[in-house]
Amino acid sequence: MPSLDTIRTAPKALLHDHLDGGLRPATVIDLAAEFGYEGLPTTDVDELATWFRRGADRKSLELYLETFNHTVGVLQERDAIIRVAAECAEDLAADGVVYAEVRYAPELSTERGLSLDEVVAANLEGFRIGMERAAAAGRPIVMKMLVTAMRQAARSVEVAECAIRWRDAGVVGFDVAGPEKGYPPTRYLDAFDRIRRENFHITIHAGESFGLPSIWEALQFAGAERLGHGVRIVDDITVRDDGSVELGRLAAFVRDRRVPLEMCPTSNVHTGAAATIADHPIDLLRRLRFRVTLNTDNRLMSGVSLSSEFAALDAAFGIGLGEMEWLTINALKSAFAPFDERLRLINEVVKPGYARLRAAESRVTLG
């Protein structure tokens, strides 16, 4: 079993992480004071961190999403967004993440007059600063942005067009997030069509709190290349008492076509989509060799890092370094960055990194 230190050292890739779900608690407090946001439940760092975690763990996606009022509340100014995005890159790099796609819905930061483009520009500027600082600290990271449209709002076409405008500056794809029930992917077909006609990339939050129809629409109507969570695909898999497994048509399609699943086990436990990590369908899906990737979703609300998520998976299923590397390469194969950039990370960073860790591990065992 690799130690948490080894897991932190291992190169990792992250495809599903929300900018507004990963703020440092101290930064939330600083920004609230600096920009006059008065809604915080407390200005004590530890109490605030606990409040976010407690608020998240209420077994309901709708209640979970409420905690975001405060993080979004302090993300209404250009400098605040830059700071949060820079710290995001630094925090991920310090955790051993070498490639990350972090998503944000620019429409959430327009309350005080910022435009969608100004929000995306600030986000990318923060990533640039964070990447520079991480490289200087000897932990280089490649940061990309996914632009998200919120399901409850009616701005998806506008947001999709904004994502396309910034594609050569660090935005690599488009996502739809928010409450799933009552907001099926087919409501946003105009936005998805716009993205596809530009040969751009789509991932959709689907099959998190809602079942197979959401996954089916995301893939077959909206053209999603990846599924945000996608955990309910297990509803289309039958495991019999004798251990034999039967895949329905949709599950077979997802596995055959290698559709990446952006799985976030701890977040699913908090929203009630799974009872515990040990009960999480990620175990069945990885054993059936679906294209599984491991992700954080919201590091602040769930109190996780990508390393702690790997450690939790290892504690539940004993995945070891071998499967950590498999999950990491899965993520890089599924990333929206250009092929040559992903190949470089796999061959020059990930494979040598795990080879070194395995060698060190066997030295310890032999010693």
3-class DSSP state of 111: coil
Instruction: Measure Cα distances from 96 to 25, 123, 162, 291, 313 in Å.
Output: 21, 21, 31, 22, 17
- Tokens found for residue 44: 């004590």
208 is catalytic: yes
Residue type, 262: E
Closest CA to 190 of 227, 149, 226: 149
Half-sphere exposure of 183 (CA within 13 A, CB side): 19
Place of tokens 């991480």: 134
Instruction: Residue 265: name the closest of 255, 278, 247, 249 by CA.
Output: 278
Q: Closest CB to Zn ion belongs to which residue?
A: 297
Subset of residues 231 to 260 that bind Zn ion, contact rule: CB under 5 A: none
Q: How many chain residues are in contact with Zn ion, going by CB under 5 A?
A: 1
Question: Cβ(123)–Cβ(145) under 8 Å?
Answer: yes
Bridge-based pairing of strands 226-229 and 237-239 is: unpaired
The rounded distance, in Å, linking the Cα atoms of 294 and 327 is 7
Q: Which is nearer to Zn ion, 102 or 124 (CB)?
A: 102
**131 φ, ψ to 5°?**
-65, -40
Q: Which is nearer to Zn ion, 134 or 191 (CB)?
A: 191
Collect all residues with Cβ–Cβ distance below 8 Å to 34 and sequence separation of at least 6: 80
Residue of 308, 358, 352, 324 lying closest to 92 (CA atoms): 308
Among the listed residues 208, 217, 262, 323, the single catalytic one is: 208
| Binders of Zn ion in range 276-305 (CB under 5 A) | 297
3-state DSSP: the chain helix, strand, coil percent, rounded to 5? 55, 15, 30
- Pick the closer one to Zn ion by CB: 105 or 357: 105
CB of 228 to Zn ion, least distance (A): 5
The residue among 11 and 22 lying less far from Zn ion, judged by its C-beta, is: 22
What is the rounded CA–CA span in Å between residue 224 and residue 168?
Answer: 21
Give the CA radius of gyration of the chain.
Answer: 20
Nearer to Zn ion by Cβ, of 224 and 349: the residue is 224
Residues 51/96, Cβ–Cβ less than 8 Å:
no
Write down the H helix ranges in 225-350: 249-256, 265-271, 282-287, 299-302, 306-317, 320-334, 339-344
Give the nearest distance from C-beta 248 to Zn ion in angstroms.
25
Residues of this chain that bind Zn ion (CB under 5 A): 297
Which of the residues are catalytic?
A: 208
